[in-house]
Structures are given as structure tokens and as C-alpha cells.
């Protein structure tokens, strides 16, 4: 927010950071978990709630509706997903969309499979959708898919229109059909020319951003991407958005690609685990490798409970160590 915040009406000021939403959710949560929270006193409970909102740990284990509700929640969720599972990236393990979806459901019980699949479609350019992906690719695609969900719906419609030759200026309100129900885009167009004319697409996208006022990537970034080639495909565009460092920086959840896999605390913990396993009397040489593998695979879950405890007990003090990585 800028210093113009004093010129806003009360409702506008409160709406900028979704204050009323968080207050209402805090009270609803208090009512749903009376027994747990009442012993602390309401002020302490509210202080903890808002503190966790401030630190971004409030979305952990919450329902998808809550995660989707505000931009801050979406960004916080991406950050939590990154922190919980970045070890996967370190080991170079590739996972499929369904496997990532399971991981997502560990930290958000009702996380829809379609969202993970949408992100996968971006990475794989709508082809061979069972193909496994790297953590970094999937994470960045998920970030765009979640944070700009409404924007993506709009431009998909725009793209379809341009592809089928319809004028993009007709006002079409995107219906609530999820992305997987749209017809596959590998149509007869691909034989002759791939995608649509980039500048026409850019004009239509910018007009849509004006009209619909939903959250969208910064216009200069969009322009930068669309000015590179004469023609553009939808997934080419979306993947370029996912890979764009500037957009990722704007959202502010993730460090730069170079720093994505750095996690000194987890490295230490893993080394301890591995040391314990190797000296265990039941392991033989041939099993050591498998144990190492399972030791690593088990750790996201262990770290999850470990971190959940840390985050709930120490009021987000893990934030201090993480900030040095940014």
C-alpha cells in the first residue's frame, strides 16, 4: 500500500488486505474449535491467528476454499509447498501430476486434482500428461496456475476464439467449466501454423485485463513475452509466464531459481537420519541404498509434522533462518 491509503474510504482500506475476511475467519475458527482455543483467552488466540497470517503459515492444513480466498493466501500456500517439499528437487526426483497432487493433498486435504493437472499441462505443453516433471518446473507452473487462476481462464477463452477465427472483442464471460473439459488444443491448426498471431493475442489479453479487473501478471512482462515471436501457443505463453523471474519476484513467495533448492536445516536433519540408518544393525550393504531412498522419501512427511510443531510452538521463528536465503 502507498501513502494514498489515507485517501481511501474505510471499506476500501480494509478491502485492500482483506482484513474483514480474516477477522470473520478468525471468529469462525474460534467457534469451530472452542475447546482448544478458549483456554488461551480471545486476545491471545487472535494474536496468534493474525501472527500466523502475517508469517504465511496460516494456510497449512486449511481447506482449499480458504487458500483460494485471498492473494496473500495463495502466495503463502505456494511458499509452504516449496518449503515442505524442496528436498524432492534436491534429489532430482521426477514426479507425475498425480504424485504431486497427493503431496498437495497432504498439506491441503481437499486440494483439487484439476489444479495440479492444470499446472502439469503447462509444464508438458499439453502433451504426454503422464510424464514426470522436475520439482522446480512444477512449482513454478503451480504458482502461476493458482495465483492467476481467473486470468488463465479468461485468456484460454480468448485463445480459443482467436484460434477458431472469432473476433476476440465479443464479451464472453468464462463459465465455470474447469480447464480439463475444454477441447484439446492440438487441432488441425498445428499442421500449418502453430498458435495464433502474437500481437492480436496481446491486444486481446490487455483488453481483458482492463475489463475484468482480476489479478493478472504485470503488463510489461506480458508484453515482453508476447513480443518475442510472431506466433504464440497458449501453453507456450503460460509456460513463459511460469518461467519469468520477474513475475515470480512480484508474487514474492519463492526465491530465485538458483536458490530454490537451498535448505540447510533439512540437509543437517537428513544427514543425521542417514547416519542413524547406516549404523542400524538390521541394515546390510545391499539394503543401504534402498534405506537411503526411503529415508529421503519419508522425510517430507516427517518434516511436515516436525515443521508443523515448530511453526505452532515457536510462533514462526523458522522464518528468521529462512530469510537469509532470500
Give the shortest CB-54-to-another protein separation in angstroms. Answer: 5
85 is a contact residue toward another protein (CB under 8 A)? no
Window 44-83: residues binding another protein (CB under 8 A) = 44, 46-47, 50-51, 53-54, 72
Window 169-198: residues binding another protein (CB under 8 A) = none
Q: Which stretch binds another protein (CB under 8 A): 11-19, 94-102, 194-202, 273-281?
A: 11-19
**Rounded-to-integer distance, Cα 246 and Cα 19, Å:** 28
312 is a contact residue toward another protein (CB under 8 A)? no
Nearer to another protein, 10 or 289 (CB): 10
**Rounded-to-integer distance, Cα 153 and Cα 173, Å:** 10
Nearer to another protein, 17 or 90 (CB): 17
Nearer to another protein, 62 or 140 (CB): 62
Among 14, 69, 93, 273, binds another protein (CB under 8 A): 14
Q: Which stretch binds another protein (CB under 8 A): 13-21, 75-83, 186-194, 242-250?
A: 13-21
Backbone phi and psi for residue 110, each to the nearest 5 degrees, phi listed first: -110, 30
Give the shortest CB-225-to-another protein separation in angstroms. Answer: 31
Among 12, 13, 175, 193, binds another protein (CB under 8 A): 13
Window 31-50: residues binding another protein (CB under 8 A) = 31, 34, 38, 41-44, 46-47, 50
- How many of the chain's residues bind another protein (CB under 8 A)? 30
Nearer to another protein, 34 or 301 (CB): 34
Instruction: Report yes or no: 225 and 241 within 8 Å, Cβ to Cβ.
Output: yes
Nearer to another protein, 15 or 298 (CB): 15
**Rounded-to-integer distance, Cα 78 and Cα 67, Å:** 10
Among 17, 68, 214, 291, binds another protein (CB under 8 A): 17
**Sequence-separated (6 or more) residues with CB below 8 Å from residue 274:** 292, 295
Positions touching another protein (CB under 8 A) are 1, 3, 5-6, 10, 13-14, 16-17, 19, 22-24, 27-28, 30-31, 34, 38, 41-44, 46-47, 50-51, 53-54, 72
Amino acid at each position: 500500500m502507498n501513502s494514498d491509503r489515507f485517501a481511501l474510504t474505510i471499506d476500501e482500506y480494509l478491502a485492500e488486505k482483506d482484513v474483514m475476511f480474516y477477522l470473520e475467519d478468525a471468529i469462525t475458527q474460534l467457534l469451530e474449535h472452542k475447546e482448544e482455543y478458549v483456554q488461551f483467552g480471545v486476545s491471545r488466540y487472535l494474536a496468534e491467528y493474525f501472527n500466523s497470517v502475517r508469517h504465511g503459515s496460516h494456510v497449512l492444513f486449511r481447506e482449499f476454499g480458504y487458500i483460494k480466498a485471498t492473494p496473500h493466501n495463495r502466495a503463502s500456500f505456494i511458499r509452504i509447498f516449496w518449503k515442505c517439499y524442496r528436498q524432492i528437487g534436491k534429489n532430482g526426483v521426477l514426479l507425475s501430476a498425480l504424485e504431486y497432487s497427493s503431496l498437495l493433498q497432504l498439506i491441503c486435504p481437499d486440494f483439487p486434482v484439476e489444479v495440479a493437472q492444470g499446472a502439469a499441462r503447462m509444464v508438458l505443453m499439453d502433451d504426454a500428461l503422464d510424464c514426470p516433471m522436475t520439482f522446480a518446473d512444477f512449482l513454478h507452473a503451480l504458482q502461476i496456475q493458482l495465483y492467476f487462476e481467473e486470468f488463465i481462464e479468461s485468456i484460454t477463452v480468448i485463445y480459443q476464439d482467436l484460434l477458431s477465427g472469432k473476433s476476440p472483442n465479443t464479451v464472453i464471460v468464462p463459465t465455470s467449466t474447469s480447464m480439463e473439459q475444454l477441447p484439446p488444443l492440438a487441432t488441425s491448426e498445428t499442421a500449418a501454423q502453430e498458435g495464433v498471431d502474437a500481437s492480436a493475442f496481446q491486444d486481446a489479453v490487455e483488453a481483458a485485463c482492463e475489463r475484468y479487473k482480476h489479478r493478472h501478471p504485470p503488463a510489461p512482462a506480458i508484453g515482453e513475452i508476447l513480443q518475442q515471436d510472431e506466433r504464440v501457443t497458449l501453453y507456450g505463453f503460460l509456460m513463459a509466464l511460469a518461467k519469468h523471474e520477474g513475475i515470480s519476484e512480484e508474487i514474492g513467495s519463492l526465491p530465485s531459481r538458483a536458490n530454490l533448492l537451498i535448505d540447510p536445516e533439512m540437509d543437517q536433519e537428513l544427514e543425521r537420519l542417514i547416519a542413524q540408518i547406516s549404523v542400524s544393525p538390521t541394515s546390510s550393504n545391499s539394503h543401504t541404498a534402498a534405506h537411503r531412498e526411503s529415508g529421503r522419501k519419508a522425510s517430507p512427511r516427517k518434516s511436515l509434522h516436525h515443521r508443523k510443531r515448530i511453526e505452532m510452538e515457536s510462533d514462526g521463528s523458522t522464518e528468521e533462518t529462512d530469510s537469509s536465503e532470500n
